[in-house]
Amino acid sequence: MMRLLAALFRHPSGRIGAAIILVYLVAALLGALGLTPHNALKQFPLDRLKPPNATYWLGTDLLGRDTFSRLMLGIGQSFVVAFASVAGATLAGTVIGLLAAWWGSLWDGVLMRIMDVLLAFPAILLALLIIAIVGPGTFTSVAAIAIVYTPIFARVVRGPALSLKRRDFVDAARTFGSSERYILTRHLLLNLVAPLTVQVTLALAWALLTEAGLSFLGLGTQPPAPSLGLMLSESKNLMQHAPWLMFFPGLTIMVGILGFNLTGDALRDILDPRTERRTA
């Protein structure tokens, strides 16, 4: 683990990605502890639509709320949804993909066809449908995004699991009489950690994107709680007068996604056995 982090900080773009994630995590943590420059929910009626200045670093919105403080809370909100939903999708997808590969034949067919059915819906549409059933909110966003990305994890796990299953070391384990559980955990899962790490990082980027998209449509986090997507959609009609209201939340979302994408790519470089061979 430490070796991986060290390698990440040696990687030129991984360093940038990891730094972005770190800064965002700190911002989210401070926001959660209430350590924002201003109260993010408080309205300052006299300071409506202020452009960025010394008091309000990134300006204020129509209700006179501090953009910077709201961004800090918004990042926290996005991260909670992204991490929770990706954790759910990773768990469910890994179990489904692993068992489909291990049991094979009929189980494989049934499980993966169910995944195919889920994949037939565009992510936002599936999320919309789930939100229509359960009603919008943080938990719904988490559940919706988790369900959307479960089939992707199932596919990501199933492919390598199938090839691991045919590897000689699994055959060797069978000749010793190792238990299924031992083979599944030590021989399959342990070797899937690397591809899963990459996939989790990239999925966090998509989850951030989807969460912001849902909030943008008004179907994610509900006001008055600050969320990046919502801030952006509120800015739409004010962009001529207060472009900072659009610019900063947009930039925050983009850089956050960039951070995870850069890290994911770097991890892929680091963990890919082929890169070892290329540099060898």
Partner 1 sequence: MSYVAQRLLTFPLILLGVSILVFVAIRMIPGDAITAMLGTEAGLLTPAQRASLAAYFGIDQPVTTQYFRWAAGLLHGDLGISATYGKPVLQIILDRFPLTLELALLSMLIALLTGIPLGVLAATRNERPSDLMVRILAMLGQSTPSFVLGLLIIYLLSVWFGIVPTMGTFTPLNVDPLANLGQMIFPAITLGFAFAASVTRISRSAMLDVLSDDYIRTARSKGASQRSVVWGHALPNALIPVVTLSGVEFGYLLGGAVIVEQVFALPGLGRLVLDAISQRDYALVQGTVLFIAMNFLIVNLIVDLLYVVLDPRIRLGGK
Partner 2 sequence: MTALLSVRDLHVGFGRDPRANEVVRGIGFDLAAGETLAIVGESGSGKSVTALSVNRLVDFGGGRITAGAIVLQRGDGSTLDLAQAEEHTLRHIRGRDIGMIFQEPMTSLNPVHTVGRQIEEAFRLNRGLGGDAARTAAREVLERVRIPDAAARLAYYPHQLSGGMRQRVMIAMALASSPRLLIADEPTTALDVTVQAQIMALLAELREETGMAMIFITHDIGLVAGIADRIMVMQRGVAVEQADTAAVLDHPQHDYTRHLLEAVPHFTAGRATRNDGTRGTATAPLVTVDGLVVRFPVGKGLFRKPGAVHAVDGVDFDLVAGETLAIVGESGSGKSTTARAILGLVQKTRGEIDARAGRSRRPIQMVFQDPFASLNPRLNVESLLAEPAIANGQRKDAALRRRMLVLLERVGLPAEALSRYPHQFSGGQRQRLCIARALMLNPDVVVLDEAVSALDVSVQAQVLQLLIELQREFGLAYIFISHDMAVVERIAHRIAVMFAGQIVEIGAAGAVLADPQHSYTRRLIAAVPAIERRKEHYTVDATQVPSLVRPAGYEPPPAHWREAGPDHRVREESA
233 in contact with partner 1 (CB under 8 A):
yes
Query: Which residues from 120-139 bind partner 2, rule CB under 8 A?
Result: none
Maximum Cα–Cα distance for the chain, whole Å? Answer: 78
The pair phi, psi for residue 60, each rounded to 5°, is -130, 165
Nearer to partner 2 by Cβ, of 48 and 187: the residue is 187
Among partner 2, partner 1, none, what binds residue 129 when CB lies within 5 to 8 Å by partner kind? partner 1
277 in contact with partner 2 (CB under 8 A):
no
258 in contact with partner 1 (CB under 8 A):
yes
276 in contact with partner 1 (CB under 8 A):
no
Residue among 62, 95, 102 nearest 244 (CA)? 62
Residue among 66, 25, 30 nearest 263 (CA)? 25
Span from 134-142, 147-155, 187-195, 254-262 in contact with partner 2 (CB under 8 A): 187-195
In this structure, what token pair is assigned to residue 49? 């639509």
Element (H, E) at 109: helix 105-119
180 in contact with partner 1 (CB under 8 A):
no
217 in contact with partner 1 (CB under 8 A):
yes
* CB of 153 closer than 8 Å to CB of 93: yes
Exactly one of 262, 266, 267, 270 binds partner 1 (CB under 8 A); that residue is 262
* CB of 43 closer than 8 Å to CB of 63: yes
78 in contact with partner 1 (CB under 8 A):
no
Nearest approach, Cβ of residue 153 and partner 1 (Å): 16
* CB of 270 closer than 8 Å to CB of 14: yes
* CB of 208 closer than 8 Å to CB of 119: no
Nearer to partner 2 by Cβ, of 133 and 193: the residue is 193
Exactly one of 80, 114, 173, 271 binds partner 1 (CB under 8 A); that residue is 114
Quickly list DSSP for 55-77.
Answer: SSTT-B-TT--BHHHHHHHHHHH
| Other residues' Cβ atoms within 10 Å of the Cβ of residue 56 | 22
Among partner 2, partner 1, none, what binds residue 10 when CB lies within 5 to 8 Å by partner kind? none
Residues that bind partner 2 (CB under 8 A): 105, 109, 167-169, 171-179, 182, 186-187, 190-191, 193, 279
